[in-house]
Structures are given as C-alpha cells and as structure tokens.
Amino acid sequence: ITRTGQLMSSKPDTSGIDLSDILDAGAQKISCVKDLSELQAVLHDVSYQVQQRAGIENDAWGLGVAWRDMYPSIVERASYGGRDSLNGFAELAREMERVAFGPPPESAMHLQTLIEQGTVDISHLDRGNEPLTDLVKELDITVVIDAVISPPGVIPGTIIGRLVEQGHAHIRPGTRGLDVSRDGSVIGQKHLAAVGRMTEDVVLGNHTLSRTLHDVIPRWAQRVINSACSATHHAHGIPPLTARIESWAEELVSDPSTCRGLLEKFGSPVNVLHAGSLPNNIDELVNAGKKMGVDTRIFFARKANKALTFVDTVRDAGHGVDVASERELAQVLDRGVLGERIILSAAIKPDRLLELAISQGVVISADSRDELDRIADLAAGRVARVAPRVAPDPLSMPLTRFGQRAAQWAEHLNTPIPGIDIVGLHVHLHGYAAKDRSIALRECCNLIDSLRSSGHLPQFIDLGGGVPMSYIDSSEQWARYHDARNAVLDGYADPFTWKADPLSNTYPFHQSPVRGAWLEDVLADGVAQMLIDRGLRLHLEPGRSLLDGCGLILTEVAFVKTRSDGLPLVGVAMNRTQCRTTSDDFLIDPLHVTDSVNQTEGEELEAYLVGAYCIEDELILRRRIRFPHGVKPGDVIAIPNTAGYFMHILESASHQIPLAANVVWPLGEKDDIENSH
C-alpha cells in the first residue's frame, strides 16, 4: 500500500546534461513566489526548459527534475511560516515527491520484472486507508513489513503529544507539526528544542537523508554555545582555553582607549610588562622550601624575558639572576646585582664572557671537564667560583646534552684545582617532573659527599629551571582540548587547527601541582633531609614560573579577509616569532578589545590570526579563533600571560620590521620603555 496508490517513478537521470543555469534561475524565483499557483508556475516553466535542454518530452520527468534539484529552495520557502501562504502545498508535495525521489532506474526495472513475473502483486496498493487487521484477514497475509517512517507531526500519546496537551508546546495552525523556530526552539520555550518528524509541515523534508538540506541542528548548537558562554562577546579558541588574568591585565584590556593609546605611542605589537606578581611567585617557592626545612634561593632565568624591570624586582627582593650571555651578564651587573647573586649557565661561554664572570665573582656553571679546565687557566691567580653541571643517570630520566656524569666529575675533581672554588653543583633537566628532580638531588648529594672528601667545599645544589605553572585554571577545559585533538587525530572530527597541524609539541598549559606544592613534592621522601644533613642550600632558576601573570602582548587588527578558498583570516600587526617558543603554539585564548558602541550585534566569525611576514604559514595562533560578534580593523587583540619566554625567546626582525617595544605598566612608575636590547 502507498499514500497515492501508485508506485514511485524512477529517479530522473540527468547525468551528462548541464541544467545548472535553468535550475539556479528557478530556485531564485521560488524564493519570491507569493502563493501556490506561482510556485506551480515556476515548476512547470523549469520543467519545460529542462525537457527542451535534455530533448526529453516527459512532463513527469521534467517536474521530477525541477522538484528534486530545486528542493532546498522549496524547503526554505515552505518551512516555518512559509507554508501559511501556500494553501494546498501538502497535496502538491505528495505528488511531486513520487516523481522526484523514486528509486534508481535499475531498481525500478528490477521491480517491474518481478511484477511481470507475478512475484510481486501490486493490486492492493490503494487500500492503505482500510484497517490493517481487516486487510490482513481478507488477503490471508502471513507477514507484515512495516516500512513506514515515523508519522509526521505531533502524535497523541508521545512525549511531544503530552507537551502539547499540557500547553507547553503548540501545533502550528494549518499544519500537523510542532511549532518551532529556525534553531529548533519550541515556540514559547527557552530551554526546549525539537528536531525531526514531529515538526513536519513546519519544517519540510525532515526524513531526507541529506545532511546539508537543513541547518536546524547547527543553529541549535550555536544557540547552546552562546548560552554556555554566558552570552558575552569574548573571543575564544576552538575549543576554549580561558586564561587566568591578573587584576592589572583585566583592568587594562577593559579599557580599549588605553590599549589603543599604547599601540599608537609604541607601535604594534607592544609588550606590556607588570612585575607585580613576581615577588609573590618567588615567595611561594621560598616558603615551600622553608616548610620542608631547606634554605631555598631563587635566581631569575633572564633568558625568559629580556626586560630589565624583572631584574630590578628580583634584585630588590634579595634574590639573584641566571644569565646566558655576555650582554645579559653585563646588563645585570649594571643594574647593581652582586656577582655572588648571579649564575652564568650559558651553553657556550667565550673567553671574554668567562673573564667578566671571573672578575665579578659570578658563579659559573661548568658544562664539561674541559670547560672547567679552561676556566682554571683563565683565572690566572684569581679564584673562579664554579658549579660543575651534572648529567644525571640516563637510565633514571630523560637524556640530556647538558653536563657530565657524576662519576666523571668525581674523578676529575679528586683533588683541589688551583684557581677553582667548587661552590656547588648545577643541573639542567628537561621537563617538569618532580620525581626527576628528586632523583637528581639524591645523585648530587652523593657527589657532594665525594667532592668534600676530596677537599672541596660545595654549599648548594642548583636544580636549574623547569618549575611548572598553569596558564588556565580549568582542568576540564584542558581535558576537553585533548579530547578534541584526539578526535581529530583519530579521524572522528574536523581539524580546528591551521592545515590540520596536530600541535604535537606544546607546553602543558594546565598542570598540577605547580610552584610551591610542586617543590614540596620534589623535597619529599627524605630528599629535604639529605640537604639539611649536609647543610646544603637549594637554588632554583625559574623563568616562566616567576613571570606568571607579569605581561601581555597587545596587537592591532590590520585586516579581516578570506584566503583564496574562502577561509576567514584576521591579520594583526605582529609576526609569529613575537609570540612563540620552541614549542608548536601558544594555546591560550586571546582577548578581543574593541570600543564598538554595540559589541553584541556583529556577525559571528571563526578565523585564523595571521601576521606580518610574507609567507603562507605566518600564523600567530594555529588554533581557529571564534569572534562571537565579529572583529574589525582597528580592534585590539590581547594575548595574555606571555612574559615567560613567549615574547622574546624567538623574536625576529625579519623584513626589518622593528622588534616590539617592552613597556612597563603602569606608565610613569618607571621608565616607560625598557632599554634592554
């Protein structure tokens, strides 16, 4: 049995015939029809034209092509309130669907053969209005195959039917369907949506197999996303990774005119520096060591940021600086930091650098036995303060190119060396694992014992850097990011990064424990007692972790455009080296600073931030960024919490574009701009 008592016509075959111009013109006319008669006129006109073009004189074939290929426009015109002005549309749709959406020709021919052979009996196709029980009894039917999809419209006894009965939802007048808006929202409700056959007549063609005919679900998803984002206008990455923002930074980015004033005065980008969080970050580590009974000293890793305001802050707090070049050392000395509070950890140390360090009493991390001997030769009657760099057992932790094994140092230093004062030991470890640091401290304590028995007097162990911090507070966001990334890598989701970059090497932007709690873990299980028993200080050389909350980058939006394939791009006046470390990307969401009068009515945009260098892969951030209410030239993008490494470790002046100015905030408290080049 069928609705019309007829078989569906075979699917009209238009292969090899270009009908796009006729169908496109007809689709545009359909969107403007006023009533059913005008719609029918368009269908017949298009049918006539396609028959003429194809050389086929068959009205059913022509109407089938017209209805099928213009169906998206018909759906758009006849859905939601559109059907109110198309009286009789249901009857038209029933007949047109029979000639437009039938089986392929080969299937129709096969069915016809079965009918001719008597295998299939179609003499009862038109008896669908009779009670099924009567039909089964009369025809002696043994098997019933229910091949009907869910009934259209609101069906009594269903959940939707009960919602209508109770007045929570309504059937749209003149239809069978539940009254919904274009995002599926049930009319009259804020938190209820319906998609599917229960909305038939209000939404045309719910049973289609096409995934692109309707946009109800994407619209619904977007509404949910907007609601989840608390209806704010904040930009965010895909997926969101919301930065922790210090109060000074929050205040700055809330003032578009001040941000723009900084860019006008110093150019784009500008590195805004605020050392207010640095003393607290130092104290957290010192107090954690004190809690464990260990005298802990901090040496700021100067390579993390070249701005001298941080050197001044560390100096005033009574701590030291770790330097990695002659210029860094000279600048730190010029700022009044005593040599005894400086450690030189450079991987390559020219003689001139060593001469300066020796003359100022700077502690020198000797990376090898040969380097130590060279330091001794350069001392020439003076005393160089040296901390041999130890490469821990490779069987217990990751391999390192820095330092030499403890046994090699013990053998080389089995007697005092003229001109060398072994004041401590130094370690340079990869990663952030507390366990690795604990193992290294145990190994160094054993070496300390050996060195002391050989006449040396080391007083500290310096663990170098690698003190962890978190850029975001939400462990859930970090987990969702990895779930989304894994879904892409496993082929279950579309990429959300530039050219599907897997971002395999990134900083752990959320981790726990950090700083103080992490140091307590390092010193647990008797490690602290080993230091205490030997009267040893613990030295740390944090960079990123000390600069947590101490800076952000401001850059101006230069353009909004698309790539040649239509991919949206937002160009900013900076280059990719000005927010990059040796890892693949900076993952924290940028902040959109705009002084638009109305920040909530622009058109949503998802785009990639591109920069100033003339290369295709000039990406500032490699994740796609969503601007819920658009973005325009002249707006400001703020990249938060970038003081630790992201500003300076890889910055380049290629194209002879000037390097970013480093501005101490607020202006006037110190020099406006750092003289740190």
**CATH code, domain with 347:** 3.20.20.10
Let me know whether 314 and 460 are in one domain: yes
Let me know whether 411 and 327 are in one domain: yes
- 657, 612 contact by CB (below 8 A): yes
Let me know whether 246 and 323 are in one domain: no
Q: How many domains would you assign to the chain?
A: 3
Residue 37, phi then psi, degrees to nearest 5? -65, -40
Q: Which of 69, 104, 130 is the last residue of a domain?
A: 130
Let me know whether 556 and 534 are in one domain: no
Q: What is the DSSP string of 415-468?
A: S--TTEEE-EEEE--SS--HHHHHHHHHHHHHHHHHHHHTT----EEE--S---
Q: Is residue 595 part of a domain?
A: yes
Let me know whether 342 and 455 are in one domain: yes
Query: Residue 532's domain spans which residues?
Result: 294-471+507-540
Q: Is residue 418 part of a domain?
A: yes
103 CA to centre of own chain: 45
**Cis peptide preceding 590, ω within 30 of 0:** no
d(C-alpha 308, C-alpha 310), whole Å? 5
Say whether 249 sits in a helix, a strand or coil. Answer: helix
Residue 635, phi then psi, degrees to nearest 5? -65, 165
Contacts of 661 (CB under 8 A, 6+ apart): 266, 267, 270, 271, 673, 674
Low-confidence ranges of the chain (pLDDT < 50): 230-232, 597-598, 600, 670-671, 675-677
Q: What is the pLDDT of residues 472-528, one digit of tens each?
A: 999 999 999 999 999 999 999 999 999 999 999 999 999 999 999 999 999 999 999
Let me know whether 361 and 462 are in one domain: yes
- 103, 111 contact by CB (below 8 A): yes
Range list of H helices, 12-119:
20-30, 36-54, 59-69, 71-78, 89-100, 105-116
Q: What is the pLDDT of residue 671?
A: 45
Q: Is residue 433 part of a domain?
A: yes
**Cis peptide preceding 666, ω within 30 of 0:** yes
**Cis peptide preceding 513, ω within 30 of 0:** yes
Let me know whether 346 and 301 are in one domain: yes
Q: What is the pLDDT of residue 149?
A: 76
Q: Which of 88, 106, 130 is the last residue of a domain?
A: 130
- 639, 589 contact by CB (below 8 A): no
d(C-alpha 309, C-alpha 151), whole Å? 72
Contacts of 256 (CB under 8 A, 6+ apart): 593, 594, 595, 636
Let me know whether 558 and 522 are in one domain: no
Let me know whether 333 and 453 are in one domain: yes
Let me know whether 62 and 116 are in one domain: yes
Q: Is residue 660 part of a domain?
A: yes
Q: Is residue 216 part of a domain?
A: no
- 400, 429 contact by CB (below 8 A): yes
Q: Which of 98, 130, 162 is the last residue of a domain?
A: 130
Q: Is residue 276 part of a domain?
A: no
Q: Is residue 159 part of a domain?
A: no
Q: Is residue 398 part of a domain?
A: yes
Let me know whether 523 and 623 are in one domain: no
CATH at residue 633: 2.40.37.10
- In the chain, the N- to C-terminal Cα span, in Å, equals 85
Let me know whether 575 and 456 are in one domain: no
